[in-house]
């Protein structure tokens, strides 16, 4: 991603959420009436075309079959985890790589009195702030605190504290569609920071990418689709196989509460035959209690 330009993938994801509003309410995987507010001119044209034809970019569908359904089920999975966490007493919400996430507004009632820290690159964060200001009358009130950061260079802990984050407080962290674009060292550093900052039992929902190793044509297409993201400056650089996710997170001080791969996401959320991109999966984890030897 180019730090001086708003994320193109963040807008593409927002377009996928906005397109779901075209479906009848019972058939929607995600219900996001605010997504369309964050679309630029080209994305709005694509949405209008979809609403007229029911087809959202044949070329994209051929290159990444199941990607739109994955994005939607990913969002729904995290929504469900967030709802449980808020009901269980989480006092803060942190969106890492927030993009054009609208949870602060869709969950406004449940979040009342709880701050939402939206962490992202400055260019994306500032574009979103301008849009929110322009549409303030259409959005529910929410305590949103923009936290500008370069995940590869800046201190997440320092940026969050400056924005008013309360350490050792039960919190919920969302890390959606980000880890695969970072280095392994950056992913581990961020997860370590989250555990150090938040109270034991705080929640984390995030997704991971892994490389499909099947030699068939469909798996090859999925591998190619990940490589194509390099063309917009957002190459896939990090992955963990789902068989290794539990051990990876446990070493960093987490316990896995739930893991949903493509098949499980389809079972839970898809009722109309759509297939889910198989090279990603979701994890819901909690920060483990610190031992006497654990730092800070």
Is the model's pLDDT at 270 over the cut of 90?
yes
Percent of the chain with pLDDT over 90: 70
At residue 225 the predicted structure's pLDDT band, cuts being 50, 70 and 90, is low
Query: DSSP string covering 2-27, please?
Result: -TTS--HHHHHHHHHHHHHTTS-GGG
Average pLDDT in the chain: 88
Output the CA torsion sign for 148, 194, 2, 8: negative
Phi, psi of 34 (to 5 degrees): -95, -10
- Name the least confident of 37-46, 61-70, 144-153, 286-295: 286-295
Mean pLDDT calculated for residue range 192-199:
95
* Residue ranges per structural domain of the chain: 63-287
Cα of first residue to Cα of last residue in the chain, in angstroms, is 33
In this structure, whether the domain defined by 63-287 belongs to CATH 3.40.710.10 is answered with no
Between the alpha carbon of residue 248 and those of residues 33, 140, 190, 261, 267, the distances in Å are 36, 38, 13, 17, 26
Which pTM does this prediction carry?
Answer: 0.88
Q: Which residues contact 229 (CB under 8 A, 6 or more apart)?
A: 9, 181, 235, 236
Residue 195: the pLDDT is 96
Mean pLDDT calculated for residue range 167-194:
93
- DSSP 8-state class, residue 222: H
- Name the least confident of 58-72, 217-231, 247-261: 217-231
Residue 213: the pLDDT is 64
At residue 282 the predicted structure's pLDDT band, cuts being 50, 70 and 90, is very high
């Amino acid at each position: 991603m180019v730090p001086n330009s708003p994320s193109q993938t963040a807008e593409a994801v927002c377009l996928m959420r906005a397109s779901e509003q075209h479906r009848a309410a019972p058939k929607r995987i995600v219900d996001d009436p605010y997504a369309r507010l964050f679309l630029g001119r080209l994305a709005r044209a694509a949405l209008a075309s979809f609403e007229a034809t029911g087809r959202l970019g044949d070329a994209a569908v051929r290159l990444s079959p199941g990607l739109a359904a994955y994005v939607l089920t990913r969002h729904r999975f995290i929504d469900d985890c967030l709802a449980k966490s808020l009901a269980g007493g989480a006092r803060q919400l942190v969106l890492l790589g927030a993009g054009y996430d609208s949870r602060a507004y869709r969950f406004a009632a449940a979040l009342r009195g709880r701050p939402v820290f939206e962490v992202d690159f400055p260019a994306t964060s500032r574009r979103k702030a301008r849009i929110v200001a322009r549409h303030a009358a259409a959005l529910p009130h929410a305590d949103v605190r923009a936290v500008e950061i370069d995940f590869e260079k800046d201190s997440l802990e320092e940026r969050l504290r400056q924005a008013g984050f309360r350490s050792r407080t039960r919190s919920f962290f969302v890390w959606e569609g980000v880890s695969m674009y970072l280095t392994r060292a950056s992913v581990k550093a961020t997860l370590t920071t989250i555990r150090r900052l938040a109270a034991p039992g705080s929640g984390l929902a995030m997704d991971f990418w892994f490389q499909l190793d099947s030699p068939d044509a469909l798996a090859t297409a999925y591998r190619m689709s990940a490589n194509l993201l390099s063309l917009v400056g957002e190459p896939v650089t990090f992955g963990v196989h789902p068989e290794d996710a539990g051990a990876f997170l446990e070493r960093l001080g987490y316990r896995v509460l739930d893991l949903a791969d493509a098949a499980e996401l389809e079972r839970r959320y898809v009722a109309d035959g759509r297939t889910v991109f198989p090279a990603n999966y979701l994890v819901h984890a909690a920060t483990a209690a610190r031992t006497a030897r654990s730092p800070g």
